[in-house]
């Protein structure tokens, strides 16, 4: 019994010893696990903490990363603090905490990790739990700080000489502060730029593309175009009020386009589209050196600076634009822009004037003198349509063959009689009934325009004797020749009607000459007659005139319309009276046709075939 009790006592002692040892082992394992987990959390590495150094020393890790993937980043990580720092080697850097760095993209930051064991005062932002300080250095980015502009390269060092971005060259002093911005005229885009064939000078954001149309130029400046990424169509910035800029001299910020026509050396003319000469005078001077800001689709623009040679636009932390520009002497910083009250919108109801002060050229301007700086093949100004160069020069005038007013459509019919061209004025009402309202006169008439001040039609004219000029035609049918317009050198082209004068052009010795003609100085050419209805025995003999009042032929200044030859007179016409009255009918007949005139009916054999836009009408007579 005693032996059994001793054995039991020994067994119990042995079991207790094993339990204690097991408990101690488990405790050690638990402690080690806590240590290992803590180390891993701090360093993302199990062994890096265990064998990296003692708890008393600060370890600067070599973990650095940059969006540029540059493995040769050289920043002295022993430098403490945040903000603008000058390192021992003279390099200037900008250090940030995590909150400030959140405003930048990943490729604009260099990350530096500084770990500290047991020393909370090792750096601003130290974590009580991890003893870890995280710093960021600005790279590949501009910095707007205390009214100065800095640029930090891919290694995080501030530029202290010349640095170029796009078409602008930035010059910095030894402290990294911007001193000049100048335009590089030779810049032709980055080598890796895509889409240049279709979108010259393309710059993009997630929502907007901006580029230039090099076919539409104002001197050396090109029309600015934009395309929203949600749309397939491109639009002209400013719409009808075309905006121009130097190549690559534009930027996008906050959905707004900032653009500049960089001042160039002045000359009498510069090369325009297809080498055409374009005046570089007052038109370009209005926009040169002004930094504009305009939102796509808006009808107003803002001025961000004047006398500008170069600029840079940034966005502040709120996303609002901030502009730095160089005026030739100083760098100016601004975040407030003034609305440009001088922006001209060229609307159809504006008052336009044809300016011929230069003598050999005509320009379309507003009444105040502002040129219509809009290249267009079909610009409507009052009762005229023009083809315009980008500087407002009128290249061509659209020809009209009819004028509609007071419920009638007026035109002039022309034809041949015994080798002599004859013309007469007809009108057509809304029911299609045509009437002759003038006696016949010699020559041919074309390009009719209505003058709302004198209530008369002004038309170009070529007489049978070779005289060219302009006619004034009343709505009753009186036809008068404007004596100031007479010339035998070339066709007289009507360019405009203003201030009781007609503006026209003739060519002398191969040179264009523009001059004005008094509407009141006239010589009678034909008189009005009581309206005589043009009657057709066969509706097929007369084509119906369908052209509306505002319809124009293609914009051109072509040759005089072709006139048809003689044809037999019609029968059934009423004998002309002494006053020249008579009802005209068309159709074949054996009797001589009577010529409508101011006197008795004649016996002109064969009559006259009249035409307007291809119509032929044969007057009959006894």
CA–CA distance, 617 with 620 (Å, rounded to integer): 10
- Mean pLDDT, residues 431-441: 94
| pLDDT at residue 385, as a whole number | 93
Distances from the Cα of 516 to the Cα of 34, 210, 327, 398, 471, angstroms: 101, 44, 44, 19, 14
pLDDT over 70 (residue 546): no
| Mean pLDDT along residues 347-365 | 89
Those residues with Cβ within 8 angstroms of residue 70's Cβ, 6 or more apart along the chain or in another chain? 154, 155
Check whether 215 has a pLDDT greater than 90: no
Residue-wise pLDDT for 230-239, tens only, equals: 988 999 999 8
Cα–Cα dist 596/583, whole Å: 9
**pLDDT class of 75 with cuts at 50, 70, 90:** low
Greater confidence (49 vs 434) lies with: 434
Q: Residue 596, Cβ neighbours under 10 Å: how many?
A: 25
More confident residue, 45 or 458: 458
* Residue 416 reports pLDDT greater than 90: no
Summarised one tens digit per residue, pLDDT across range 338-350 is: 999 888 778 777 8
More confident residue, 113 or 538: 113
What is the C-alpha to C-alpha distance for residues 594 and 570, in angstroms, rounded to an integer?
Answer: 9
| pLDDT at residue 23, as a whole number | 64
- Contact (CB, 8 A) for 160 and 173: yes
Question: 3-state DSSP call for residue 557?
Answer: coil
Q: What is the mean pLDDT of residues 422-446?
A: 94
Task: Supply φ then ψ for residue 24, to 5 degrees.
Answer: -65, -40
Give the pLDDT band (50/70/90) at residue 560.
very low
DSSP for 245-293? E-TT-EEEETTEEEEEB------SEEE-GGG-EEE-SHHHHTTBT-EEE
pLDDT greater than 90 at residue 246:
yes
Question: What is the pLDDT confidence band of residue 294, given thresholds at 50, 70 and 90?
Answer: very high
Residue 22 to residue 28: CA distance in whole angstroms: 10
**How far is 52 from 188, CA to CA, in rounded Å?**
53
Q: Provide, rounded to the nearest whole percent, the portion of the chain with pLDDT above 70.
A: 65
Confidence band, pLDDT 50/70/90 cuts, at residue 375:
confident
Higher pLDDT, 70 or 329: 329
Q: Read off φ and ψ for residue 63, nearest 5 degrees.
A: -80, 105
Q: What is the DSSP string of 83-129?
A: EEEE-TTS-EEEEE-HHHHTTS-GGGEEEEEEE-SS-GGGSTT--TT
Top mean pLDDT of 23-37, 76-90, 360-374 is at: 360-374
Confidence of residue 518 (pLDDT cuts 50, 70, 90): very high
pLDDT of residue 59: 29
**What is the pLDDT at residue 472?**
96
Predicted pLDDT of residue 290: 95
pLDDT value of residue 241: 84
Residue 50 has φ and ψ, to the nearest 5°, of -70, -35
Q: Which residues contact 108 (CB under 8 A, 6 or more apart)?
A: 67, 138, 139, 140, 141
Kindly give the pairing relationship between strand 200-204 and strand 178-183.
Answer: unpaired
Q: Return the pLDDT at 391.
A: 84
Instruction: State the pLDDT at residue 317.
Output: 78
pLDDT band at 190 (very low <50, low <70, confident <90, very high): low
Beta strands 168-172; 178-183: pairing state: antiparallel
Q: Which of 123, 117, 138 is nearest to 42 (CA)?
A: 117
- Angle at 621 (CA atoms; ends 619, 622), nearest 5 degrees: 165
pLDDT value of residue 577: 33
d(CA 236, CA 240): 8
Rounded Cα distance between 226 and 229, Å, is 10
Instruction: Kindly give, in sequence order, each residue whose CB lies less than 8 Å from that of residue 188, ignoring residues fewer than 6 positions away.
Output: 247
Residue 281 buriedness (CB in 10 A; 0-12 / 13-18 / 19+): middle
* Selection from 517, 519, 398 nearest residue 451 by Cα: 519
Sign of CA dihedral 46, 51, 55, 59: negative
pLDDT band at 295 (very low <50, low <70, confident <90, very high): very high
pLDDT range class, residue 550, cuts 50, 70, 90: very low
Looking at the predicted structure, is the pLDDT value of residue 127 above 50? no
> pLDDT category, 47, cuts 50, 70, 90?
very low
The residues that bridge with 196 in the sheet, in sequence order, are none
User: What average pLDDT does the structure give for the chain?
Assistant: 74
Residue 503: C-alpha distances to residues 44, 411, 516, 534 (Å): 86, 21, 5, 35
Highest mean pLDDT among 23-27, 351-355, 576-580, 582-586: 351-355
On the 0-12 / 13-18 / 19+ scale of CB atoms within 10 A, 393 is buried
Q: Give me the pLDDT at residue 589, please.
A: 34
Contact predicate 177/149, CB 8 Å? yes
Q: Is the pLDDT of residue 587 over 60?
A: no
Residues 171 and 127: beta-carbon distance below 8 Å: no
pLDDT for the residue 239: 86
User: In this predicted structure, what is the pLDDT of residue 525?
Assistant: 95
Which whole number is the average pLDDT over 206-213?
93
């Amino acid at each position: 019994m005693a032996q059994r009790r001793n054995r039991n006592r020994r067994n119990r002692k042995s079991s207790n010893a094993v339990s204690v040892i097991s408990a101690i082992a488990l405790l050690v394992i638990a402690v080690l696990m806590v240590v290992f987990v803590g180390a891993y959390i701090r360093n993302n590495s199990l062994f890096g903490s265990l064998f990296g150094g003692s708890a008393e020393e600060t370890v600067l890790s070599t973990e650095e990363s940059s969006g540029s993937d540059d493995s040769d980043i050289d920043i002295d990580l022993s430098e403490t603090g945040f903000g603008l720092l000058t390192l021992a080697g003279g390099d200037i850097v900008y250090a940030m905490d995590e909150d400030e760095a959140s405003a930048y993209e990943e490729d604009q930051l260099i990350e530096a990790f500084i770990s500290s064991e047991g020393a909370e005062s090792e750096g601003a932002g130290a974590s009580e739990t991890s003893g870890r300080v995280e710093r960021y250095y600005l790279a590949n980015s501009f910095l707007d700080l205390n009214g100065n502009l800095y640029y930090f390269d891919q290694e995080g060092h501030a530029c202290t000489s010349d640095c170029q971005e796009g078409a602008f060259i930035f010059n910095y002093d030894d402290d990294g502060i911007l001193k000049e911005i100048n335009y590089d005229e030779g810049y032709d885009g980055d080598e890796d730029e895509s889409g240049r064939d279709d979108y010259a000078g393309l710059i993009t954001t997630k929502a907007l593309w901006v580029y230039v149309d090099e076919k539409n130029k104002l001197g050396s400046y090109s029309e600015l175009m934009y395309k929203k990424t949600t749309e397939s169509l491109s639009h002209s910035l400013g719409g009808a009020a075309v905006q121009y800029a130097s190549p690559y001299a534009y930027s996008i910020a906050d959905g707004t386009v900032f653009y500049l026509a960089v001042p160039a050396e002045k000359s009498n003319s510069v090369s325009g589209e297809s080498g055409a000469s374009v005046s570089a005078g007052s038109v370009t001077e209005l926009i040169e050196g002004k930094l504009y800001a305009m939102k796509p689709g808006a009808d107003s623009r803002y001025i961000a600076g004047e006398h500008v040679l170069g600029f840079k636009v940034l966005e502040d932390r709120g996303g609002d634009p901030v502009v730095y520009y160089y005026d030739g002497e100083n760098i100016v910083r601004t975040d407030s822009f003034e609305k440009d009250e001088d922006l001209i919108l060229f609307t159809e109801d504006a008052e336009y004037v044809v300016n011929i002060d230069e003598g050999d050229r005509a320009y379309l301007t507003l009444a105040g003198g502002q040129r219509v700086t809009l290249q267009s093949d079909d610009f409507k100004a009052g009762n005229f349509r023009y083809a315009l160069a980008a500087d407002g020069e009128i290249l061509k005038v659209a020809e009209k063959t009819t004028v509609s007013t007071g419920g009638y459509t007026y035109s002039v019919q022309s034809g041949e009689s015994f080798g002599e061209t004859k013309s007469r004025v007809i009108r057509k009402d809304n029911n299609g009934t045509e009437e002759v309202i003038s006696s016949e006169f010699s020559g041919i008439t074309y390009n009719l325009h209505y003058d709302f001040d004198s209530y008369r039609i002004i038309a170009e004219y070529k007489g049978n004797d070779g005289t060219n000029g302009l006619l004034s035609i009343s709505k009753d049918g009186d036809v008068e020749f404007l004596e100031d317009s007479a010339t035998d050198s070339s066709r007289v082209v009507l360019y405009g009607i203003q201030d009781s004068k007609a503006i026209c052009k003739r060519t002398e010795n191969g040179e264009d000459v523009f001059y004005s003609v008094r509407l009141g100085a006239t010589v009678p050419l034909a008189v009005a007659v009581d309206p005589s209805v043009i009657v057709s025995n066969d509706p097929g003999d007369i084509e119906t005139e369908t052209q509306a009042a505002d319809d124009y032929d293609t914009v051109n200044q072509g040759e005089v319309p072709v006139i048809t030859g003689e044809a037999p007179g019609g029968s059934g016409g009423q004998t002309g009276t002494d006053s020249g009255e008579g009802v005209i009918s068309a159709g074949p007949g054996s009797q001589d046709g009577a010529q409508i005139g101011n006197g008795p009916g004649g016996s002109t054999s064969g009559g006259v075939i009249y035409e307007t836009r291809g119509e032929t009408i044969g007057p009959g007579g006894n």
